[in-house]
Amino acid sequence: MNFLIGTTSLEATATDLLAVGVKQGEVAQALQGLDAAFGNKLSETLAADEFEGKAGSGKAYPTFGHVAAKRILFVGIGDGSPSGLAKAAGRVGSIARDHGVTQLALHLGRVPAKDLSLVVEAIQEGNYRFDKYKPEKERKPALDTVVLLGTEKPVDGFGKASAVAAGQSLARDLINEPAGVIYPETLAAQAQALASGRIRVTVWDEKKIVAEGMGGIAGVGQGSERPPRFVHMTYTPPGTPRAKLCIIGKGVTFDSGGLSLKTSAGMMTMRCDMSGSAAVIGTMRALKEIEPDVEVHGIFGAVENMPSGTSYKLGDVLKMYSGKTVEIHNTDAEGRLVLADCLHYATKLGVDATVDLATLTGACVVALGEEVAGLFTPDDTLAASLQGAAARASEQIWRMPLPESYKEKIKGEWGSIKNVGGPDGGAITAALFLAEFAGDRPWAHLDIAGPAFYDKAHGHLAAGGTGVMVRTLVEWITTP
């Protein structure tokens, strides 16, 4: 997708779709010379359609030759905040794809340079569709060229925003692929495909995983005919790194629940249970282009959680990579076992901070809904850094508590710890479980179970994987 800066007036801009941003309650101001070109009927039409400029709202009309554009779209930017601009840009991208528009001109006013990248990312986010399995006649073309009107080109161009958008789209593609296409071996291959330049990738097969003592990854994966993989990606910057960071993703490529079998409905979208690892791969793909001055380690364990005669069982005690032992009280609480081995591996890398992300608990969805990720960390500085990055990236996270007293819920009888803590506070006890393996360096856990995947279109996002947290992670890594 090519982004250009345009200088023509709204009336004279020749394009398939002209999109005009409108602040809430300021419809007349946004129309500029357009209303006169339409015989002063636009303002009447928008008023009749009750369009007021609410963030993400939109109304589209044919132009009938009154202006150079073929169609015109008015989109609300709310109060003009970064969030409002992102919602508007995302909606424009989505409407453009629905109509098969390849040429777009967008006027959102004089967008601050710091927010222009967010607009570029959001347009591509809204324009995304996963339609490779649809008949060709049902596929709508993606945007090819976007002309941004009424603003200045950022000094560093659109390179970073395009890299982030490409990383997010890669993550969404991986999530949306059927489990018969993306499984442990092929997910690892997707990471290996990035291995060039400043990215190197190490992959352990099932024999190496067992030999190294990664009992969590091996235990969860042993019920599947498709064996597990452990993946370590490393980005090395030019020059001396100002920091060393680690991101870890849950990579359960399909989650049946194991012997604690899910219902058919609960299993239907469980190809998305590798959304954390997809975000790691997408982030590393973006960093490869951006080349920040930070050393970054991207880690994930890839497994299928399947029921069979070789599956790990209720009552089993797994010996983890850290040496701790875990009682299995529910085989559907598998992601934390995989992450635990990855977290302990990260403690050996000498990094300054580690962030893991996972579609970990339904309890977090109950607590925060489907749009907000839960943030768990005992480190106030890391929490503030991630919250700031998420705000700049227009993604939503909310810090959750980690009460020490809840550790009693996961105290083991036969082993060091058990893998579930009962029906109450499930997102918290899952995070406390992970904390047992995170070491003494700053660590945070992001539970993305709500916003990682939508069963149907949600706002400007198409149904399926969202690639959530790619933007936040890149912002966190690249901002000093």
Domains annotated for the chain, with CATH where assigned, are 2-150 (3.40.220.10), 163-478 (3.40.630.10)
Q: Which helix (H) or strand (E) holds 146?
A: strand 145-149
Strand order in the sheet with 325-327: 317-319, 325-327, 417-418
Residue 406's pLDDT is 98
353 CA to centre of own chain: 20
Among 129, 288, 336, 471, which one carries the catalytic annotation? 336
Output the pTM of the full model: 0.96
- Residue 189, sorted as left (phi over 0), alpha (psi -120 to 50) or beta, turns out to be alpha
pLDDT of residue 328: 98
| Residue 41 among the catalytic residues | no
Q: Could you give the CA distance from residue 464 to residue 438 in angstroms, rounded to a whole number?
A: 31
Buried b (16+ CB within 10 A) or exposed e, 116-134: bbbbbbbbbbbbbbbeeee
Catalytic residue among 262, 399, 409, 441: 262
Distance of alpha carbon 316 from alpha carbon 330, whole angstroms: 10
**Among this protein's residues, is 336 annotated catalytic?**
yes
Q: Mark the ranges of the chain whose per-residue pLDDT is less than 70.
A: none
